Structure 1
Amino acid sequence: MFTWLTELSSNSNHFMPHGACYLWQQSILLLHVISDTLIASAYYSIPVALGYFVHRRTDLTYRWVFLLFGGFILLCGTTHLLSIWTIWYPNYWLAGWVKAITALASCITAVLIWPLIPKLLSLPSPEALASSEAYMRAIFDCTPDSILITDDKGVISLVNHEAQHLLGYPHDELIGTTIDNLFPTPSKNAYASLRAHCIDNATIDLEPITQTFSVLTKFGHEIEVSLRLSIINTKQGLYFACTLRDITQEKQAENALKASEERFRRMANASPTMIWITDASGKFSFINQTWLNFTGIKPADALELGLSSSLNPPRRSSSFY
């Protein structure tokens, strides 16, 4: 075995250098040497480019194809370097074995590439991807809720038209900034905690979380929103879809209703007349203080008993029978 390796790497006395076939003419030697050098340089640069591409594009489906082509092209470049070497040194066994390995790699590549062609043809074209992206973008922008897409640091990478309208910022002023800047201090801390919770639980199938926050518009106005945070787990990293719905008017209506109910309660309790409200079954939903004073029944007991059970037997009979 060692004899074979020695013969493989050493000059053979049985052969003459390839340069003799060129009659050692300088012009033809330079032609072949320069050509093979340029070809080898190009062949060696292509695998480097493919390797860099595969390294940067971690989402590639057929990574092995690029690596296989890179290895095959690298071997092709080596055969051209050996063509230069054998001009002066007749290591034809070494050159032959490198060619044999190159042939094997070439055949493997050729055999594997044909079954892959239908799958490659089924991949969407750039035009189809652009059309699909435009379609999804139209849906994204037509959504009535404000949507912001951020990374795990909170940096905004995508916003829809409604978000720009709600917050008062143009598109370019939102992209690249952090979503934390849109919250006043209390809400900013709460949102940071919520995002940290989602990051800590990103490995499980976490349901979207909805909470109420205050956000600041570009003009300094503070509005209340219902914020829904969803995790987007991709090969490129963790992203968040933050959906905002303005609930300022809902909160104002809710507060107005509470204030109205409180005014009614005060007015009813101040009335000398007994006032109560029941449903169709006679269950109380409101009892004023005059009613409680007259009957002597505690509020909790009255609400539990209902109107029929709260009245004494004679009144119950006359009222309901």
Structure 2
Amino acid sequence: MIAVFDGTFGNLALIPGGDCDRWEPELVWLHGISDGLFALAYWAIAIALVYFVRQRRDLPYPWLFRLVGAFIVACGLTHGMEIWTLWHPTYGVSGWLKAVTAILALAIAGALIPVIPQALNLPSRRELEASNTRFRNLVANIPGAVFRYLLHPDRSDEVTDSKQAEIARQHSENRLQLALEASGEGLWDWNIETGQVYLNDRYQEMLGYAPGELVIDLEGWEELVHPDDRPWVVERLTAHLSDRSIQYGFDYRVRCKSGEWKWVTNYGKVVATDEDGNPLRMIGIHIDISDRKATEAALAESQQRYQDLVENSPDIIERFDLQLRHLYVSPVLTEITGIETEVFLGKTCRDLGMDEAMINTWEPAAARLLATGERQVIEFSTPTLKGERSFEMAIAPEWSEDGTVQSILCISRDITERKVVEQALKTQRDFNQLIAEITSRFVNLSPEHLDIEIERTLRLIAEMTQIDTSYLFRFNEDDRTISMTHEWCQPHCPRQIASAQKIPLTSFPWSIAKLKQREIVYVANLADMPPEAEIDQMGLQKFNLAAVLSVPLVGRSGVVGIIGFASFNQSLIWNEEMIRLLNVLAQTIANAQQQAEDEQQLAISEERLRLALS
């Protein structure tokens, strides 16, 4: 025996599994991870089975589920052992685990043979529903003569009928009880004369009581009804007792033993009356509908959240039929158009007289969707109560059960700010390229071409930035006045170069002081100028300017002039990067002018020298 044990559990001359794989990392990890995942999966399944069996106390053959669970745990252990033997050659333990697993597998196979015929005899869900239907029919058709006999059993002239009635009653109640037990629903039987209420085991279990634990009368039953439901439930009961044509079937809440409230469906019917039609007995069933009510509540909550999301979404949400008529519009569309929701419904965008450019973009996209079934995305701009706005619209098909498009869902997002940013980035990129191109043209520029290039520069910058006028001033030799030397204007703007000669510097003291200090003067709006710039403000108004940007031209001797950009009717918006590039451009022009002046002085000096030598 000891030898067998040693041969089984010992490590004599055995090598770990990893040696068989030559300790190749890829193979070791492959086996280890695979067996680990197998083990985790088996144990997770076993835990789920245990939880299921514990929750479903009424589950048939629970021992079989536990046996299967033990088998699955053993399977997981064998895979865990495979990981262990990669490093430790305890193959005996591994073999015994596999043997236990095999025994469990054989036990399950043997247990299934007698269980399968019994399981096949269990009623199916459809059979239970059929039994429930038969019960309702039985309740509705219990003969009244049976109960009239029960009230008057001592009438000698009806002895034969009474025996037949007794037999019929007994058969009816037996069928009723059988149908109820088969249906698995809770039965209640109310003796109206005594007030006692019979509850079957399933009824009591439904509320968390042990069989026979819950003994109540009518008053006790009322105490079980939720306070909010009690008034109308009692009212329905009273109404049915008075008039049997009024159906006694509804959903309400009852208190469980634990104190929680459970939703049930209640069906009932008066099945016995006296000769005067007064009710003597009433029978009914309770069906636990807590899961259904929870599902309905979750669905209602989900629908409400969806509705809240749609109603409060900043996006425009629309639904159209196949003729492009509105079926639904979110409140945002009313906010931006001023058209009430009811006006949209049943009308197309053309019927509503909406923007033609938008319609000419939307209709072809909708036609493509209907033809291909593929989602479309379009962009368009349209007038709104908030001004011209840009939108991105996603157009998606809504499919019917037969696979055809039944409606069109559109979600439009306001992308005006995004478009503004995109345009600003494009303008900045184009402006950078323009400045780079202009600057390169001033390198080694001959003096005779300088004025033409400056005028070209003023035009290109003004056209790109869409300002009204651009110009260049030079300080005169007296250093007391300034004169415009170059100017470019939009076609609709007046030229002012003739009147802008020898302007006294005292007309713009605040601006000139800053420019002399090599500072850029940026007045986005004339009305926003500081109080100390009052004189400058009046001087600019004489030229009908509304906004101005002035950049100093710095030469060898200091500030020699100004390059400026102005608007006659609206404010100017320049970002810091554009102003920085304009400053670079101003310095480039100043250097080109300085070079031209140097070359001119050099030419004059050479001419004087030539004349002196001749």
Q: Contact conserved, 1:148 with 1:160, CA < 8 A, in 2? A: yes
Q: Which amino acid aligns with 1:190?
A: W
Match of 1:63? 156
| Alpha-carbon distance between aligned partners in 2 of 1:284 and 1:247, rounded to the nearest angstrom | 39
| Alpha-carbon distance between aligned partners in 2 of 1:129 and 1:196, rounded to the nearest angstrom | 26
DSSP 3-state at the match of 1:239: strand
Matches within 5 A, 1:71-86: none
DSSP 3-state at the match of 2:339: coil
* 1:231 and 2:270 aligned: yes
Match of 1:100? none
Task: State the Cα deviation string for residues 167-224 of structure 1 (Å, max 9, x = none).
Answer: 223342345533223213333333222222222225xxx1423333221012211122
Q: Contact conserved, 2:207 with 2:256, CA < 8 A, in 1? A: yes
| Alpha-carbon distance between aligned partners in 1 of 2:327 and 2:194, rounded to the nearest angstrom | 47
Q: Which has a greater percent of strand?
A: 2
| Alpha-carbon distance between aligned partners in 1 of 2:349 and 2:271, rounded to the nearest angstrom | 55
Match of 1:177? 217
Q: Contact conserved, 1:156 with 1:174, CA < 8 A, in 2? A: no
Q: Which amino acid aligns with 1:138?
A: L
Deviation (angstroms), 1:277: 2.9
Matches within 5 A, 1:104-123: 123=164
Match of 2:112? none
Q: Contact conserved, 2:205 with 2:211, CA < 8 A, in 1? A: no
| Alpha-carbon distance between aligned partners in 2 of 1:152 and 1:304, rounded to the nearest angstrom | 58
Q: Contact conserved, 1:226 with 1:245, CA < 8 A, in 2? A: yes
| Alpha-carbon distance between aligned partners in 2 of 1:296 and 1:286, rounded to the nearest angstrom | 16
* 1:222 and 2:261 aligned: yes
| Alpha-carbon distance between aligned partners in 1 of 2:296 and 2:332, rounded to the nearest angstrom | 28
> 1:258–1:135: structure 2 CA closer, same or farther, 3 Å change rule?
closer
DSSP 3-state at the match of 1:290: helix
Match of 1:252 among 291, 294, 314: 294
Match of 1:261? 303
Q: Which amino acid aligns with 2:300?
A: K
| Alpha-carbon distance between aligned partners in 1 of 2:223 and 2:174, rounded to the nearest angstrom | 29
* 1:243 and 2:285 aligned: yes
Q: Contact conserved, 2:331 with 2:341, CA < 8 A, in 1? A: no
Match of 2:178? 138
More moved, 158-167 vs 300-309: 300-309
Q: Contact conserved, 1:145 with 1:245, CA < 8 A, in 2? A: yes
Q: Contact conserved, 1:146 with 1:245, CA < 8 A, in 2? A: yes
> 1:246–1:63: structure 2 CA closer, same or farther, 3 Å change rule?
same
| Alpha-carbon distance between aligned partners in 1 of 2:205 and 2:300, rounded to the nearest angstrom | 30
Aligned residues: 210
Match of 2:189? 149
Q: What is the root-mean-square deviation in Å for CA atoms of aligned residues?
A: 4.0
Match of 2:317 among 255, 275, 284: 275
| Alpha-carbon distance between aligned partners in 2 of 1:305 and 1:234, rounded to the nearest angstrom | 61
Match of 1:318? 363
Matches within 5 A, 1:23-42: none
Q: Which amino acid aligns with 1:146?
A: G
Match of 2:234? 192
Task: State the Cα deviation string for residues 93-150 of structure 1 (Å, max 9, x = none).
Answer: xxxxxxxxxxxxxxxxxxxxxxx7xx89x94897x97676444322111224433121
Q: Contact conserved, 1:207 with 1:230, CA < 8 A, in 2? A: no
| Alpha-carbon distance between aligned partners in 2 of 1:270 and 1:198, rounded to the nearest angstrom | 46
Q: Contact conserved, 1:148 with 1:241, CA < 8 A, in 2? A: yes
Matches within 5 A, 1:285-300: 286-300=328-342
Q: Which amino acid aligns with 1:164?
A: Q
Name the TM-score, length of structure 2 as normaliser.
Answer: 0.29
DSSP 3-state at the match of 1:185: coil
Q: Which has a greater percent of helix?
A: 1
DSSP 3-state at the match of 2:270: strand
Matches within 5 A, 1:81-96: none
| Alpha-carbon distance between aligned partners in 2 of 1:224 and 1:154, rounded to the nearest angstrom | 28
| Alpha-carbon distance between aligned partners in 1 of 2:271 and 2:255, rounded to the nearest angstrom | 25
> 1:135–1:242: structure 2 CA closer, same or farther, 3 Å change rule?
closer
DSSP 3-state at the match of 2:315: coil
Once the two structures are aligned, what percentage of the paired residues are identical?
16
| Alpha-carbon distance between aligned partners in 2 of 1:194 and 1:226, rounded to the nearest angstrom | 14
DSSP 3-state at the match of 1:169: coil
Name the TM-score, length of structure 1 as normaliser.
Answer: 0.51
> 1:226–1:301: structure 2 CA closer, same or farther, 3 Å change rule?
farther
Higher relative contact order (CA 8 A, sep 6+): 1
Task: State the Cα deviation string for residues 19-78 of structure 1 (Å, max 9, x = none).
Answer: xxxxxxxxxxxxxxxxxxxxxxxxxxxxxxxxxxxxx95444962266xxxxxxxxxxxx
Q: Which amino acid aligns with 1:318?
A: E
> 1:195–1:130: structure 2 CA closer, same or farther, 3 Å change rule?
closer
> 1:279–1:227: structure 2 CA closer, same or farther, 3 Å change rule?
farther
| Alpha-carbon distance between aligned partners in 1 of 2:261 and 2:189, rounded to the nearest angstrom | 21
Q: Which amino acid aligns with 1:151?
A: N
Gaps of 5+ in 2: 1-148, 368-614
Gaps of 5+ in 1: 1-55, 67-115
Q: Contact conserved, 2:193 with 2:280, CA < 8 A, in 1? A: no
